[in-house]
Chains A and B, each alone.
Chain A
């Protein structure tokens, strides 16, 4: 990672590099957020007919169709977040503590834990959502989808607050 950043620093400033990385992390997170939300809607409020308004059509989408893109977005978003986390620890968290933003620090610590749990559940999530979907494991499939959605939503909101403190555009 350090070799990559050293090479890049020959062309762009350190600040621009980390901000670009954070922005890419944000873009991936937005895409992931959309997918987990759509899947949760399809899982919790399934509709049989595809006709109707936008919400009904979203509800009628096969929840299984979101699984592969969710897995392939969750992993790079997590890895990129882990990389940006290096900068957060020194450049953001220290001033956050100095200004006494303890709720933000604590919430961000919890974000580490919840996204880690999400990553740990990805193999099982992938396994249970493979075709053919058995009725017997419908409850655990639903739980895994909802948990991933909660983890992504939580991480997104807390990450956004931390970014507002010291990040892109702050």
Chain B
């Protein structure tokens, strides 16, 4: 009976030790996992950015069955152009490439690189919107604030600072969470850009 209790206590201690170690370091993610997670994050970021900039790999004209490289405006007699397939193709190619590179990177670099890219993708348009908001309301001429490059430089600095100074544990814990942060953020941006349809 005493022996049984001892074994039980040992098992409990072992369980607590495993729980403690698992809370300190997440379970190992295989290379296929790194590929899958990076693919999801990269695809969604790229898709949102490419859609907003309207940079498709190709433009398809369904009325005439014609395919053009990159972005082509509607042409007379050719019907409406479709860009969605072009955004998908470019996002897919970009995501596969980045995901493959991600499997080769040391994990700490990968976590920080992900934070850098995601923060940059969020901060750049956010700063641009904030700058335009301020520039339209101040009494002096602040048109320079609307510069895409000024917002870009600030976003770059912000993303670099956050990814550099963020603790190793924080960037690691955040890595998987990008899988829900990115679609929520991406859909908010994409949804907002559709507001003209709902406000007519």
A interface residue numbers (CB < 8 A to B): 2, 82, 85-87, 89-90, 93-94, 100, 102-103, 105-107, 109-110, 112-114, 116-117, 120-121, 123-124, 126-127, 134, 136-137, 140, 143-144, 147
Contacts and interface: CB of A to CB of B under 8 A. Distances in A.
B82 A89 contact: yes
Given A106-B198, A113-B190, A137-B27, A123 B39 contact: yes
Give the one of A120, A134, A136 with max B CB within 10 A. A120
A120 B43 contact: yes
A117 B80 contact: no
B77 interface: no
B164 interface: no
Interface stretch (B4-12, B152-160, B180-188): B180-188
Contacts of B79: 90
A89 B39 CA distance: 29
Contacts of A144: 179
B167 interface: no
Contact of A90 (B22, B80, B183, B186): B80
A169 B82 CA distance: 26
A71 B191 CA distance: 25
B99 to A, nearest CB: 9
B132 to A, nearest CB: 23
Contact of A124 (B84, B179, B198, B200): B179
B177 A113 contact: no
Interface in B31-48: 32-33, 35-37, 39-40, 43-44, 47
B27 A124 contact: no
A134 to B, nearest CB: 5
Interface string B46-64: 0100010000000010110
Nearest to A121: B40
Contacts of A93: 80
B20 interface: no
B44 A136 contact: no
Contacts of A112: 84
A102 B39 CA distance: 33
A136 to B, nearest CB: 5
Contacts of A113: 47, 51, 186-187, 190-191
